[in-house]
Amino acid sequence: MPEISFENPVLAAYAIAAAIMAIKIMGQGWMTVARMMRVSAGWASPEDLRPGPLNRSPDPSQLAPNDYVDRSRRLHRNDLENIPAFWVAGALFVLTDPPLILAQGLFFGFVAARLAHFLAYATQRSHELRATFYTIGSLIVIYMSFHVLWALLT
């Protein structure tokens, strides 16, 4: 069984990648709020129309869809659909005591794929480009999951 401490370079690499992805998810939420505040639109719920310090002049039109805000919301949803699977598969993968170079390639490859996906989506690049980065990240998670199953079943 591998050492469960940050002295284990595989666990340390996973921890770095996992922390970056946690920051990515939380940052995406903040980006959505910042966009809502910037355009005073794209609010999500009827109660958002109550007057307050951040919305002194509510207007029902603020609840209408706004692509600028919704693009960030879709990015956030996509992160929430993909990053937790990485956390689980990656943590289990660490327990298989893989070679460091393989682990680093997979962990940082996933991070790079998610950041590239973000850039492609945020800058309105083609679906094919965005799908390419999604596919890379997805295949990494699938590989790690099968690696874990193989380690357990053999």
Structural domains of the chain, with CATH: 9-153 (1.20.120.550)
Per residue in 94-149, pLDDT tens? 999 999 999 999 999 999 999 999 999 999 999 999 999 999 999 999 999 999 99
102 to 55, 75, 111, 135, 143: CA distances (angstroms): 50, 28, 14, 18, 11
148: left (phi over 0), alpha (psi -120 to 50) or beta: alpha
The two three-digit tokens of residue 129, written as one number: 């480009």
- pLDDT for the residue numbered 55: 84
Q: Residue 57 above 90 pLDDT?
A: no
Q: Residue 54 above 90 pLDDT?
A: no
Rounded CA-CA distance 148/144 in Å is: 6
Q: Residue 2 above 80 pLDDT?
A: no
The two three-digit tokens of residue 121, written as one number: 């989506």
The burial of 114, by beta-carbon neighbours within 10 Å (0-12 exposed, 13-18 middle, 19 or more buried), is given as buried
Angle at which helices 9-39 and 67-94 cross, to 10° = 170
CA distance from start to end of the chain = 15
Residue 3 binned pLDDT confidence (cut-offs 50, 70, 90): confident
Q: Taking CA 95 as the corner, what is the angle to CA 89 and CA 97, rounded to the nearest 5 degrees?
A: 115
